[in-house]
Chain A
Amino acid sequence: MIETALIIETVVKAVIALAVIAGMAGFATFLERKVLAFMQRRLGPMHVGPYGLLQLAADGIKLFTKEDIIPQNVVKPIFVIAPIIGAVSAFVAIAAVPYFPQFTVFGYTIHPIISDINVGLLFIMGAASVGMYGPLLAGLSSHNKWSLLGGARAVIQLLSFEVVSGLSILAPLMMIGSLSLIDINDYQIGGFSSWLVWKQPLAFVLFAIAGFAETNRTPFDLVEFEAEIVSGYATEYSGMRWGLFFIGEYANMITISALVSIIFMGGYNPLWIIPGAIMMLVKVSFWIFLFLWVRAAWPHVRPDQLMWVCWKVLMPLALINILITGIVLV
């Protein structure tokens, strides 16, 4: 009996999370266009619906009804499966992220997390890394040099940044002693001053930088930088397959925002009189905004600069951070 209830609950939660995150990812594309436009003194989409709000629907219809083109000479099965890997891994990562504090509806306590794995953080980072297979396979199978370059860049980016994000997160984990995001959240229950940012500022900065790289956002958007490699791994894609890549990317953005908020910025603990759920929304929105903001302001780096900064600057810093944390803990 308990088993069935658990299964039903999990399925319902999964469907809700999927729908909400996919919706939010779509909305983020709209927000991105608006915010970028405002920062460049433009208006952005304006004509579909009030203030262009229905642009989303228009884009959705366009993506779904577009002809599904599979170019000549591509490796068809891989070409078809690559965007699915990208999107699915992004959504799988979401499974272990707790978005809100638990609440009670009709006497039934709900934990807004699909599954509280005890190695949640590891699971998320693993799933997000699998996401890199999307660009890689797309690049390899597309029979297009831009795509190939994009795929190659995806791999060097992954190799460079997985190390930094893994090492930088290690120091806070040493203090907490658990990989479960709920434990990490509960560690910071003491309010504003107990946020891990204050104790681990360096790890915070490193993880944020790595997050930008992991989501292919602007300073590190070399996987799909238009001016150099057209559209990178997505050059040959169109219609819904292309859409899947981008839903995946935005879902990743949301995941990373949630991760940073939970690990470093107090998670869903209430602050002062603001309830935890609102705090979480505010923090995630801030991080999404930061992603867009940075895109409007900063140029992007070259691949060699990326590797340089990863291996020669960020990784040593992360190691030193772990060392210091270790010494302090002992």
Chain B
Amino acid sequence: MELRGFKNRNATPGYIYFEGESKPQDAWGRFKRFADRAVKGELFVGLWIVLREMIRFNIHTVQYPAEKLQMSPRYRSIHKLLRLFESGYERCIGCGLCEKICISNCIKMDTKVDEKSRKLVSQYTINFGRCIFCGYCAEVCPELAIVHGDDYEHASEQRAHFGLKEDMLTPLDKFKAKKQKEFPGFGALSKDADKFVKKTPLAY
């Protein structure tokens, strides 16, 4: 782009400027405006529209405690820790990426090596007083272990609620009943992700 292009301050070609209604100049103009405003059917258009809505009876109320909204998969709410579908073991491998990327520093985790020499996540908490629900942790997690839930009812008596590992991890009985759903939202693989997998080029 040329410099001239940047210098053009009047950079709103798509805008339509509305100067306002032109004022009537003489008495006849004023009378015409009065007649226009008085006789125009606008008021009746308004009446018709509300009546039409009443007849259509297309009610948009969600009767909240009885009915609940289905949130979009991209909704970022209190986190969940998922389990592996095959073994039921926790997906989290304790890599610590989420802790590292969290911009409000609210994930705290502790790992240790268990008796089978595997890395075990012994502590995992999110301080929801500080979490800004940015979704970076879900996006960075290589195992899709930490994901966002879609539950929007999080009033509670303690600020530590929801944030402990036990709260977030899919409970075993729920998992056994096959109620754990794969997470479709932020950071998840897209449906056609397989198509983009390429062989690792070895022949350098």
Residues of chain B within 8 A (CB-CB) of A39 are 50-51, 53-54
CA A123 – CA B58 in complex, angstroms?
45
- Say how far B35's CB is from chain A's closest CB, in angstroms: 11
Instruction: Say whether, besides A35-B54, A293-B51, A41 and B46 are in contact (CB < 8 Å).
Output: no
Whether A297 lies near B63 (C-beta < 8 A) is no
Whether B60 lies near A297 (C-beta < 8 A) is no
Whether B59 lies near A42 (C-beta < 8 A) is yes
A15 at the interface (CB under 8 A from B): no
CA A40 – CA B53 in complex, angstroms?
7
Residues of chain B within 8 A (CB-CB) of A41 are 53, 58-61
- Say how far A298's CB is from chain B's closest CB, in angstroms: 6
Chain B: interface size category: 10 to 19
Instruction: Say whether, besides A40-B53, A46-B63, A293 and B47 are in contact (CB < 8 Å).
Output: yes
- Say how far B161's CB is from chain A's closest CB, in angstroms: 28
Chain A: interface size category: 10 to 19
Whether A43 lies near B53 (C-beta < 8 A) is no
Instruction: Say whether, besides A35-B54, A293-B51, A43 and B46 are in contact (CB < 8 Å).
Output: no
B49 at the interface (CB under 8 A from A): yes
CA A39 – CA B63 in complex, angstroms?
17
- Say how far A118's CB is from chain B's closest CB, in angstroms: 38
Residues of chain A within 8 A (CB-CB) of B60 are 41-42
A63 at the interface (CB under 8 A from B): no
CA A313 – CA B35 in complex, angstroms?
11
Residues of chain A within 8 A (CB-CB) of B63 are 43, 46
A51 at the interface (CB under 8 A from B): no
Q: Mark B30-58, 1 if CB is under 8 A from A, else 0.
A: 00000000100001001101110110011
A294 at the interface (CB under 8 A from B): yes
CA A297 – CA B50 in complex, angstroms?
6
CA A294 – CA B51 in complex, angstroms?
10
A319 at the interface (CB under 8 A from B): no
Question: How many residue pairs at the A-B interface have CB separations less than 8 Å?
Answer: 38
The B-contacting residues of A in range 295-329, CB under 8 angstroms, are 296-298, 313
The A-contacting residues of B in range 43-94, CB under 8 angstroms, are 43, 46-47, 49-51, 53-54, 57-61, 63
CA A8 – CA B54 in complex, angstroms?
46
| Nearest CB in chain A to that of B48: its residue | A297
Residues of chain B within 8 A (CB-CB) of A38 are 53-54, 57, 59
Residues of chain B within 8 A (CB-CB) of A293 are 47, 50-51
CA A297 – CA B47 in complex, angstroms?
5
Residues of chain B within 8 A (CB-CB) of A313 are 38
Interface of B is mostly: helix
- Say how far B140's CB is from chain A's closest CB, in angstroms: 42
| Nearest CB in chain A to that of B44: its residue | A297
CA A83 – CA B199 in complex, angstroms?
84
The A-contacting residues of B in range 133-192, CB under 8 angstroms, are none
| Nearest CB in chain B to that of A299: its residue | B46
Residues of chain B within 8 A (CB-CB) of A46 are 61, 63
Instruction: Say whether, besides A35-B54, A38-B54, A298-B43, A43 and B49 are in contact (CB < 8 Å).
Output: no
Residues of chain A within 8 A (CB-CB) of B46 are 297-298
Indicate which residue in A35, A43, A294, A296 contacts B61 across the interface (CB closer than 8 Å): A43
Residues of chain B within 8 A (CB-CB) of A35 are 54
> Which of A41, A43, A293 neighbours the largest number of chain B CB atoms within 10 Å of its CB?
A41
- Say how far A300's CB is from chain B's closest CB, in angstroms: 12
| Nearest CB in chain B to that of A43: its residue | B61
| Nearest CB in chain B to that of A41: its residue | B60
Instruction: Say whether, besides A293-B47, A297-B46, A43 and B54 are in contact (CB < 8 Å).
Output: no
Residues of chain B within 8 A (CB-CB) of A298 are 43, 46-47
Residues of chain B within 8 A (CB-CB) of A42 are 59-61
CA A37 – CA B188 in complex, angstroms?
41
CA A39 – CA B51 in complex, angstroms?
6
The B-contacting residues of A in range 220-240, CB under 8 angstroms, are none
- Say how far B149's CB is from chain A's closest CB, in angstroms: 29
> Which of A35, A294, A297 neighbours the largest number of chain B CB atoms within 10 Å of its CB?
A297
Instruction: Say whether, besides A42-B59, A43-B63, A46-B63, A294 and B54 are in contact (CB < 8 Å).
Output: no
| Nearest CB in chain B to that of A47: its residue | B63
- Say how far B81's CB is from chain A's closest CB, in angstroms: 37
The B-contacting residues of A in range 95-120, CB under 8 angstroms, are none
- 14 A-B residue pairings within 8 Å (CB atoms): A38-B53, A38-B59, A39-B50, A41-B58, A41-B60, A41-B61, A42-B61, A43-B63, A46-B61, A293-B50, A294-B47, A296-B50, A298-B43, A298-B46
Q: A40-B50, A43-B59, A313-B38 are known contacts; what are 9 more A-B pairs with Cβ within 8 Å? A: A38-B53, A38-B59, A39-B50, A39-B54, A41-B58, A41-B61, A293-B47, A294-B47, A298-B46
